[in-house]
């Protein structure tokens, strides 16, 4: 995953890293400011949530797999364990602190699209016992946009370079797959689950000039339109189900991409123009993963507080 990203193949990355470092000086050069990250209420993690058996399940692409993160700094890892040197405001703010009987499974896989999420991950999910509740974190759809980075004609699961009208059938196919993914998760948890589905971020900060990212990517005139349609699919999927909740990483990351130091950009953050993407552009760096961790924890805590009797017993 994600967004209007770039290729991860080793030969291209090796050949173009210097170009990336040189061209993206407006976003990556000079000492980075201290990031201002989403706040998470410590009060929400002060007391035990449940004694029930709970499975934390990761599904999807490289964001949930933690590609590019320092050891222990992937967002999914940090949901349950503070990494070494974690921010003081996050110490003890983990799911392990509030769920005593928690097991963790991460089925996500880097490089994967929604096609593989359905065929390789959902198809292999076990059916968990009926006394087990699921907290399911999903990142899907970003790689459907970017594979094969304009090197081959666009197609379903690899839409980079497509015109919007050309991509509409593939967007519709993603919508059907996402429905099947969510159906599969529900079936895997007869004891109930809450699904937290991230939307797709935009490393161009709303500009759509992916060709200026410093890597050899062709222009994609309809890229932002297609990204918007894909995020619309994710929003509709969540709206159609009471137990699916959007984790809005797109909004949080705007102003932290390749235009993060551009004061003319409408998403410029004067108090924090830090850069949140890994060197391959399509995955987060450690700051970005920290932001995603916080967004997931905040949404999970909100849902556990709001669903009341539908949640695992909260004492």
Q: Is 244 helix (H, G, I), strand (E, B) or coil?
A: strand
Q: Check whether 57 has a pLDDT greater than 90.
A: yes
Mean per-residue pLDDT, 90-107: 97
Alpha carbons 189 and 135: distance in angstroms, whole number: 10
Mean per-residue pLDDT, 302-311: 72
Question: For residues 182, 187, 189 and 195, what is the CA-based torsion angle, rounded to 10 degrees?
Answer: 10
Partners of residue 132 on adjacent β-strands: 53
Higher pLDDT, 62 or 14: 62
pLDDT of residue 9: 35
Alpha carbons 55 and 130: distance in angstroms, whole number: 12
Mean per-residue pLDDT, 190-196: 98
Residue whose structure tokens are 């990351």: 253
Q: Check whether 1 has a pLDDT greater than 70.
A: no
Question: For residues 118, 120, 123 and 129, what is the CA-based torsion angle, rounded to 10 degrees?
Answer: -110
- Count of CB atoms within 10 A of residue 186's CB? 17
Alpha carbons 80 and 243: distance in angstroms, whole number: 21
- Count of CB atoms within 10 A of residue 288's CB? 30
Mean per-residue pLDDT, 116-125: 97
pLDDT of residue 78: 98
**What are the structural domains of the chain?**
10-308 (3.40.50.1110)
Q: Cα–Cα distances in Å, from 77 out to 137, 218, 258, 314?
A: 12, 34, 26, 24
Structure tokens belonging to residue 148: 């094969």
Partners of residue 196 on adjacent β-strands: 137, 245
Task: Report strand pairing: 132-139 vs 53-60.
Answer: parallel
Lowest pLDDT segment from 13-22, 41-50, 286-295: 13-22
- How high does pLDDT run on average in the chain? 89
pLDDT of residue 312: 58
Mean per-residue pLDDT, 211-215: 91
Lowest pLDDT segment from 55-64, 227-236, 272-281: 272-281
Alpha carbons 293 and 283: distance in angstroms, whole number: 14
Q: Cα–Cα distances in Å, from 89 out to 36, 40, 66, 93?
A: 12, 8, 22, 8
Percentage of residues in the chain with pLDDT exceeding 90? 81
Mean per-residue pLDDT, 11-17: 33
Residue whose structure tokens are 């040197």: 85
Q: Which helix or strand (DSSP H or E) is residue 262 part of? A: none
Encode pLDDT of 278-303 as tens digits: 998 889 999 999 999 999 999 999 99
Of residues 274, 297, 296, 228, the one with CA closest to residue 3: 228
Going 9 to 11 to 16 to 20, the CA torsion angle's sign is positive
- Count of CB atoms within 10 A of residue 246's CB? 17
Of residues 274, 298, 301, 292, the one with CA closest to residue 63: 292
Alpha carbons 59 and 13: distance in angstroms, whole number: 26
pLDDT of residue 191: 97
Q: Which helix or strand (DSSP H or E) is residue 43 part of? A: none
Q: Check whether 72 has a pLDDT greater than 70.
A: yes
Q: Check whether 17 has a pLDDT greater than 80.
A: no
Mean per-residue pLDDT, 80-109: 97
**Residues recorded for the chain:** 315
Q: Could you tell me the pLDDT band of residue 19, with boundaries at 50, 70 and 90?
A: very low
- Count of CB atoms within 10 A of residue 43's CB? 8
Q: Render 252-268 in DSSP notation, one character per residue.
A: HHTTSSTTTT-TTSTT-
pLDDT of residue 24: 46
Structure tokens belonging to residue 207: 């500009």
Q: Check whether 27 has a pLDDT greater than 60.
A: no
pLDDT of residue 253: 98
Angle at 106 between CA 104 and CA 109, to 5 degrees: 175
């Amino acid at each position: 995953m994600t967004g209007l990203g770039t290729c991860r193949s080793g030969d291209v990355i090796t050949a173009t890293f210097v170009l990336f470092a040189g061209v993206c000086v407006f976003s990556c050069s000079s000492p980075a400011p201290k990031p201002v990250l989403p706040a998470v209420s410590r009060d929400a993690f002060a007391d035990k949530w449940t004694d029930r058996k709970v499975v934390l399940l990761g599904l999807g692409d490289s964001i949930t797999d933690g590609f590019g993160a320092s050891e222990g700094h992937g967002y999914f890892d940090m949901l349950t364990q503070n990494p070494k040197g974690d921010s003081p405001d996050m110490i003890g703010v983990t799911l392990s602190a509030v769920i005593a009987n928690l097991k963790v499974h991460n089925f996500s896989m880097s490089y994967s699209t929604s096609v593989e999420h359905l065929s390789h991950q959902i198809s292999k999910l076990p059916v968990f016992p009926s006394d087990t509740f699921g907290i399911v974190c999903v990142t899907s759809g970003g790689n459907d946009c970017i594979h094969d980075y304009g090197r081959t004609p666009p197609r379903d699961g690899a839409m980079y370079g497509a015109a919007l009208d050309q991509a509409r059938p593939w967007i519709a196919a993603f919508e059907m797959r996402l429905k099947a993914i969510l159906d599969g998760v529900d079936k895997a948890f007869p004891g109930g689950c809450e699904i937290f589905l991230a939307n797709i971020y935009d490393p161009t900060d709303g500009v759509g000039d992916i060709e200026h990212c410093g890597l050899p990517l062709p222009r994609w005139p309809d890229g932002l339109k297609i990204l918007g349609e894909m995020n619309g699919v994710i929003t509709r999927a969540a709206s159609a189900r009471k137990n699916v909740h959007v984790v809005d990483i797109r909004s949080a990351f705007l102003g932290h991409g390749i235009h993060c130091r551009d004061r003319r950009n409408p998403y410029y953050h004067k108090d924090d123009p830090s850069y949140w993407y890994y060197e391959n552009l399509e995955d987060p760096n450690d700051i970005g993963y920290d932001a995603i961790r916080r967004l997931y924890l905040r949404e999970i805590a909100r849902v556990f507080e709001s669903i009341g009797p539908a949640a695992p017993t909260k004492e």
